[in-house]
Amino acid sequence: MRSVVARGIRWRGGVILMAFVALGCGRLGYDLLQPPGGDGGPFEGGGASDGIGGTAGAGQASGGYVSSNGGSVGGSVGNSGAGDAGSGLGGAGSEGGSSAGAAGSTALPWEMPNRVTTYAGTGVVGFDDGPSTMATFNLPVDVQMSPEGLYVADAQNAAVRLISPDGMVTTVVGRAGPGFRDGPLATAQLRHPVALARDSQGRILVADNYNHAIRRIEKNGTLSTVVGTGSAGYSEGNGTQAQFNEPEGIVLDSADVMYIADKNNRVIRRVDANGATSLFCGQPGVDVVIDGPCLGSGRLEFPTDIEQDDAGNFYVTEWGMHVVRKIAPDGTLSTVLGSTGTRGWADGPAAGSILSHPSAVLWDNRRNVLWFLDHDGGHRVRQFDGVLATSVLGPKTSSYVDAAFLDGTDPRFAYPDGVALGSDGSLYIADVGNHRIRRASAD
């Protein structure tokens, strides 16, 4: 992820299968993604032929989408798949079962999220561990899912926190205060951690923005420096001989090769498994948006996050130019979302979409969508399917509201900045301005 400047504070900054349809009564309808096949378990969800958890909840629909509110929104499915008149959106299956389920039935986890709840944090600035309902944060800017729980880059506390599955928040590293020190986690120091990633060995990588370095939380309970000298600059080299200038986004490929959005150097850097760095895309110090070959005429202006999809494409947020760029496997850099230099909001075909300080990107390989966040001016969770950009959660106004869109209320965020995907299909969002971690789920 990244760090951006807003209101004097340094912050860091999927596919449309959801359609919002205005019904006659003025309420918005909601078409949801048909889940993949599976065993009906709590994290995988039943396939179109299995129903929910092997029950008749979704019937034996051969085609259609399933509403998260079952009968109350989707209506009965029936043979025609049109649903009961006046009951909302019907199922699209041609051979539906007895019904789409009663209101409030268990949602399939790979439907699109509509309900936002607070996962951790009180909204009060602080540095308190404990139960998630009592723990406090200070500008939480990124999140990373792991088997141990949800890691949080708590930027202004210069710490990495962990929210365990039982809801307890602990500080992994950062209690020694801000600084630049490797060693045991109890005494090691970070300075403004803004992005997190997890390698194949389960180690957590941290973009330590103000230390101009990438740090790593080792399995033996220590913190190490992977690359970076602690001083801003640009130089290639091995490990701590290489220099960066406020690195922000991090992503690792299947071979644990790391790709870093080196924001103030205006480039994407590559770090191999041995720690050797190289230029991957852009020209150091040249801040302009130009499409073209990454190591030729292609240029980046202000790269703040990076993600990779299953086809090997990289997506890069350009926070200052309000666009999302794409690096194809052949090294070609292009602009896929937004209009360069135009700030605002517009959904629809990618070429006509308008963004406002995009701050994070996340590839969702079950829904085949690219999630992206509008940090400010939009305060939205949006998605891109390769053709259309669509706002899913959050109106334009910055605020704090836990709600479900299907209940008729818009959830609200304040400067959302980081996003992670849970095993159940939920999104976990670093809601920076509210000093909270939010969860967006389909139920």
What pLDDT tens digit does each residue of the chain (443 aa) get? 443 333 223 333 333 233 332 322 322 222 222 222 333 332 233 332 222 233 233 322 222 222 222 322 233 223 333 333 333 333 333 323 322 333 333 445 568 898 999 999 999 999 999 999 999 999 999 999 999 999 999 999 999 999 999 999 999 999 999 999 999 999 999 999 999 999 999 999 999 999 999 999 999 999 999 999 999 999 999 999 999 999 999 999 999 999 999 999 999 999 999 999 999 999 999 989 999 999 999 999 999 999 999 999 999 999 889 999 999 999 999 999 999 999 998 999 999 999 999 999 999 999 999 999 988 767 899 999 999 999 998 877 788 999 987 788 889 999 999 999 999 999 999 999 999 999 999 87
Q: Count Cα atoms within 13 angstroms, Cβ side, for 138.
A: 16
The secondary structure element, H or E, covering residue 73 is: helix 71-74
**3-state SS class at 174:** coil
101: nearest Cα among 150, 38, 53, 149:
53
What pLDDT is recorded for position 340? Answer: 93
What pLDDT is recorded for position 369? Answer: 95
What is d(CA 257, CA 378) in angstroms, rounded to the nearest whole number?
33
Alpha-carbon distances of 253 from 14, 29, 113, 306, rounded to whole Å: 19, 38, 27, 12
What is d(CA 12, CA 6) in angstroms, rounded to the nearest whole number?
10
pTM: 0.78
What pLDDT is recorded for position 377? Answer: 66
Find residue 28's DSSP bridge partners: 22
**Do residues 306 and 361 lie in contact, with contact meaning Cβ atoms separated by under 8 Å?**
yes
197: nearest Cα among 217, 181, 179:
217
- Amino acid occupying residue 286: V
What pLDDT is recorded for position 95? Answer: 29
Q: Kindly tell me the burial class for residue 340, based on how many C-beta atoms sit within 10 Å of its own C-beta (0-12, 13-18, 19 or more).
A: middle
Two tokens, residue 107: 């949602």
Start-to-end CA span in the chain (Å): 28
What pLDDT is recorded for position 36? Answer: 28
Find residue 181's DSSP bridge partners: 189
What is d(CA 424, CA 442) in angstroms, rounded to the nearest whole number?
9
